Amino acid sequence: MRPQLGPLVRLDPVTGTNLVFVYLAAGLVAVFGYAYLRIAQDPERFRPFIELGVIGKLLAVGAVTWPWLTGEVGWQLPLVVSGDAVFALLFIDFLRRTRRA
């Protein structure tokens, strides 16, 4: 994480072997971004990716909400992740509305 961003979300700088997790997370974000691009190009064909998107978004929300509820992180991260909650709901709504009979 960039040194100037750490204080903004109240996280310690990532150093040493923990950088592996940062790179892994960045790679997963890139893979999900690619999946969202494919969905945008052909929602019907790549519909199963939307279900994975819901799972990923809800996992992100859970991963941040639990530490926030236990007081381990401030309100900043849940605010950032609230966008993931909104997208998860939108994805679920899309899946519901476009369900095959």
pLDDT in tens, 15-42: 777 788 888 999 999 999 999 999 999 9
Judged against a pLDDT cut of 60, whether residue 4 lies above it is answered with yes
- Can you give the residue range of the structural domain that contains 61? 6-97
Angle at 43 between CA 57 and CA 80, to 5 degrees: 25
Query: Would the pLDDT of 70 be above 90?
Result: yes
Q: Is residue 1 part of a domain?
A: no
C-alpha span between 7 and 12 (Å, rounded): 8
Q: Write down the pLDDT at residue 79.
A: 94
Burial 46-72 (b: 16+ CB within 10 A, else e): beebbeebbebbbebbeebbeebeeee
Count structural domains, the chain: 1
The reported pTM is: 0.78
Among 8-12, 46-50, 86-90, whose mean pLDDT is lowest? 8-12
